[in-house]
Amino acid sequence: MNRLIIIGNGFDLAHGIKTNYHDFILDYLKTCLIECSESGSFTMSSSHFERIGGYFKDDLLEIKLRTKYSNVIYTEKIKEFQTIKELVEFYKRNEFSITHSFELLLNTINEYCTLNWVDLEDRYFDLLVKYGSTALKKNNIDKIKLINDKFEILKQLLQEYLIKQQLQFSNLSNKEPLVDCFCDKIYKNELVTITLEESIFPENLYFLNFNYTNTFEDYFRDCRIKIPSNFNYIHGNLHGVHGNAIFGFGDELDKRYLGFEDEKNNELFKHIKSFEYLKTKNYYLLTRFIESQDFQVHIYGHSCGISDRTMLNQIFEHENCKSIKIYYHKKSDGSNDYTEKIYEISRHFKDKGMMRKKIVPFDLSSEMPQPNKGIK
């Protein structure tokens, strides 16, 4: 029996890498505001100066510093902010005027970017539905094309941000706890649909990395010394060696998506993951793995949201998938996300009876080791 190891964004976050949506947008807004505030001209008078406006514009937003100021230095102040909420309150107080050209970005900033990546992809799909239901109208066709163009720009900005994060990251953590989890036995009491006479080590490990970053590779190298191992950047990686980054919506089971197939507008499919998967061999190689023999699934830091339902449904409901073990996140208040995870996983099953047989119960599950604990 093999083991399929699903790696999600929570894996990077556990290593202290700022890869969530909030941190990405916070960094982007800070950069834009600093450039705006430093672009104004100055009139010097003794120890005072007067800032005469400030201006910034890119493909997603335009910022104006609307009034004159004296003895104000914004750059260092902007750098200090740790949340979108604080930053938004600051620029509203200080006469910055921001005009957004991308509805999705505006909406998420107004919510202080509390969304996960899967939520953002869902919101993108909601916009397609909003304008796609009447796609034959000329203005809506143009609107969908604009949404896709802006979404592509956001994706490029994300890649640039993640490249910086990856370059700054150095894995100084103790790798042994996670390696032990990856290479652990498949215990006979974790299986219901088949019977093992005794617990066994997996024959092969297959790392299915949903991240664009390479954080998992340090562990992969240690694991393959113990057990034959392979990996798959199913959504591509930052430099395109394993395919260009795939960012979009991936739920063909959504009833609203089925309506797109009746619309004569291929622009609706531009960022649908199913079509992006066909541009590389990654999905094909995953299919070969799950078709090859029985396997157990391990989940580390993946939300299992519906934006990946097409793929996760294929994995979880496959007859060769015999067990799904969640390595849950234990929160600072002592609670954990196991229950949230099983809610999400349930959405990928049409057969709920099968789901209950495959998901390893909480008292047989484990907390995901946190590599960044105690590291300064």
Contact 138, 323 (CB under 8 A): no
Tell me the DSSP string of 266-281.
GGGGTTBHHHHHTTSS
- The pLDDT tens digits of the residues spanning 214-245 come to 999 999 999 999 999 999 999 999 999 999 99
Neighbouring-strand partners of residue 65: 54, 96
> What ranges in 211-252 are assigned the alpha helix state H?
217-226
Compute the distance between CA of residue 318 and CA of residue 364 in angstroms, rounded to an integer.
Answer: 22
- The pLDDT tens digits of the residues spanning 79-118 come to 999 999 999 999 888 778 899 999 999 988 888 778 889 8
Token pair of 271, please? Answer: 């960022």
| 8-state DSSP, 121 | H
Token look-up 């609203």 returns 256
Token pair of 232, please? Answer: 């798959």
Domain ranges of the chain: 2-17+169-244+279-367, 19-117
Q: What is the mean pLDDT of the chain?
A: 90
User: 376 pLDDT exceeds 70?
Assistant: no
- Residue percentage of the chain with pLDDT more than 90: 72
User: 346 pLDDT exceeds 90?
Assistant: yes
Radius of gyration of the chain (CA): 23
Other residues' Cβ atoms within 10 Å of the Cβ of residue 19: 24
Q: What confidence category does residue 49 fall into, taking pLDDT thresholds of 50, 70 and 90?
A: low
Q: What confidence category does residue 27 fall into, taking pLDDT thresholds of 50, 70 and 90?
A: very high
Compute the distance between CA of residue 243 and CA of residue 218 in angstroms, rounded to an integer.
Answer: 20
Neighbouring-strand partners of residue 50: 43, 70
Tell me the DSSP string of 78-98.
HHH--SHHHHHHHHHHTTEEE
Token look-up 């143009």 returns 142
Q: What confidence category does residue 54 fall into, taking pLDDT thresholds of 50, 70 and 90?
A: confident
Contact 359, 342 (CB under 8 A): yes
The reply to whether the predicted model has a pTM over 0.85 is yes
- Identify the pLDDT of residue 73: 65
Token pair of 340, please? Answer: 């949230």
Neighbouring-strand partners of residue 42: 51
- The pLDDT tens digits of the residues spanning 264-318 come to 789 999 999 999 999 999 999 999 999 999 999 999 999 999 999 999 999 999 9
